[in-house]
Every structure is written in structure tokens, then in C-alpha cells.
Amino acid sequence: MISAHGLTKTIGQRTLWEELDVTVNSGEMMAVRGPSGSGKSTLLNCLGLLEPLTAGHVLIQGANTTSYNQRQQRIFRRDTLGYLFQNYALIENTSIHDNLTVAGGENRKLSRTEKHKVYEEALEHVGLTGRSRDLVYELSGGEQQRVALARLLVKKPVFILADEPTGALDDDNADMVISTLRYLAEKGASILIATHNDHVESRCDTSLVLESRALVP
Ligand SMILES: Nc1ncnc2c1ncn2[C@@H]1O[C@H](COP(=O)(O)OP(=O)(O)OP(=O)(O)O)[C@@H](O)[C@H]1O
């Protein structure tokens, strides 16, 4: 579960959002909506500890992540956080298999044989059975997003941030993204999805709408 209170982000003279409260229970998906520039990606980045909040605090599974030092942040990103991007964010010049090996999470403690089984199950789940030696840069966009989903299935993060994950995909691949995220929610994850897509929002449990805010004079 994520429970965040009083979130404020100011960049230069501009306050993107102020005194925001965000709660996503374990098992839930929340859509983050709002016009372009309203700060959806920035909110996700702040919750993922990729950039600092101006104010507010965040509890994830009861731990106050806002007070984490750099080492704790690294461990959080390695073990707790899963990220899904519009541009897939894979290591493009290597194989699908190699991209799964960097998934992190509890998985890294498994034996080689056990890992292989986990990878194959994840690839089967996203319709890429037997493709683990394929090179990422030779895959279509939809297939690359399936690899990114497989990486999440391998890692099983309890907190997932998805930034426009269906923005560049056709309907079938977009459905694959949402149904896989739903599967991960059913396994206990809390998920935030920044999206412009009404259909994606309709598949979420709750919505958070950010407003476009004018520049402070
Ligand atoms: N590091 C930064 N330095 C300066 N401005 C920034 C920085 N990060 C974000 N911004 C600005 O903050 C605003 C919000 O950006 P953000 O990408 O979070 O919006 P968004 O709602 O995700 O937009 P979109 O829907 O177009 O992806 C934008 O005007 C952006 O230019």
C-alpha cells in the first residue's frame, strides 16, 4: 500500500501540484489524469524517488521513503519499485533474456534453473514463449513493451509506476499491458498509471486528476 500526504512540487517559480494526498491500496490500480504539463510524470518520478518532492511524505508498505538515504533509495528501486515507460526503457542491444536478468527483486536469490523457469513463465504470460534469445532492437514496439511487462512479472514489485505505458501501442498490446498490470495488482501490488487514455482509466479502480496550473506571477 502507498499512502502519501501533502505532496507539493515546485519547479522554478511554478507549482505543479500542492498538498496532494494519494492512497493506493494493495491490489488497486489508480489512473493519474490531467492535461499535458500538469505534472503526471513528475509525480510518478517523485514517488519513485527519481526526483525530490518539495514537500510532503510518502509511506510505502509503512516505510517512510521520503526519509531514505541514497543507499536505501537504491535498495527500494531494486526490490520494491517497478517502472513501466512509454518508450519501454530496455537495454536494446542485448537479448530478451539479458533484460530479464536485470529485473532485480527477490528473484536474484534463486538458482540458475529456478531463474530460467521464472523467465520462461513470464515470457509465456506475455506471449513471447521461446523468444528469450531474440535481440531487443529487432522487436516491434508492442513486443518490447511485452518484454518490459515480463521484467515486471519476474521482479514482482509491490509498487508499480507506469508512465503512459500504452501511449505508443495498438489496442491488442494496450490490452496486454492493462491485463498484466491487473494480474500484478491481484498479486498484491499498488499501481499508478499516468495516462491520457479513457479506456485505460476505465480499467483502473480509482483516478487522480491533476489540474493545469498557471505560472505564479
Ligand atoms: N527538471 C525540470 N526542469 C524544468 N521543468 C521541468 C522539469 N521537469 C518537469 N518540468 C516541467 O514540469 C511540467 C510538468 O511536466 P510533466 O512531464 O510531469 O507533465 P505531464 O503531465 O506528465 O505531461 P505529458 O502529459 O505531456 O507527459 C512541464 O511543464 C515540464 O516542462
C-alpha cell of residue 13: 517559480
Q: Measuring CA to CA, how many Å separate 79 from each of 107, 155, 156, 158, 188?
A: 9, 8, 9, 9, 15
**Ligand 1 mutation target, pool 9, 10, 41, 85, most atoms within 8 A of CB:** 41
Q: What is the pLDDT of residue 88?
A: 78
Print burial letters for 71-80: b (CB count within 10 Å at least 16), e (below 16). Answer: eeeeebbeeb
This prediction's pTM:
0.93
11 CB under 6 A from ligand 1? yes
pLDDT tens profile 76-121 = 999 999 999 888 788 889 999 999 988 777 777 788 888 889 999 9
Q: Ligand 1 centroid vs 36 CA: distance in angstroms? A: 8
Q: Give the residue whose CA is nearest to atom 4 of ligand 1.
A: 11
In the chain, the domains with their CATH numbers are: 2-209 (3.40.50.300)
Q: Return the ligand 1 atom nearest residue 44 CA.
A: 18
Q: What is the pLDDT of residue 215?
A: 54
Is it the case that residue 217 has pLDDT exceeding 90?
A: no
Q: Give the residue whose CA is nearest to atom 9 of ligand 1.
A: 42
